[in-house]
Amino acid sequence: MIRLLLLLSIPLYILDQWSKLWIVKHFELHVTEQEVIANTFWLHHTANTGVAFGMFNGTEYANYAFGAVSLTALTFIIWMYKKGAFPGVLSRTSVALLVAGIFGNLTDRLLHGYVVDFLRFDFGFPPFNPWPSFNVADSCVVVAAILLAVASFTETAPAEKAKA
């Protein structure tokens, strides 16, 4: 696991934080926007105190509650890892991506008081019109969830391997 943290989690965490600091420095919150791909992709600076898709954004204690949820999730992941719940490459890769994503957004909550979202897409058809803004850490969490789902069908726990 240490190898995956060094090779995957830390570089992705650094990329996430660098990209967010660059956005904070160059884009005024909720004002400045730069079109990257005509009518499809924009960079901008938005604040998200909620969770995925901006749910619970702006509610009074959301930032504190979701900061606590992040710490709880990290604790649970570490506990599950020690229990051998992530036996294969896909599941361990998903853990490394989750760690990068959770730490990335938790760092934002501590540094800025909100999660910095800056990637905005409009695919031109409902319900993805426009897609909610996100960041590198969010991407890590989504890819981790997909990998974990695939791993749940393809990887066998060590205890089950011994029985087979």
User: Which are the catalytic amino acids?
Assistant: 117, 138
Neighbours of 8 (CB within 10 A): 18
Q: In what order do the strands lie in the sheet with 33-37?
A: 33-37, 41-48, 115-121
Strands 41-48 and 33-37: antiparallel
Distance CA 45, CA 164 (A): 52
- Residue partners of 94: CB distance under 8 A and separation at least 6: 86, 143, 144, 145, 147, 148, 151
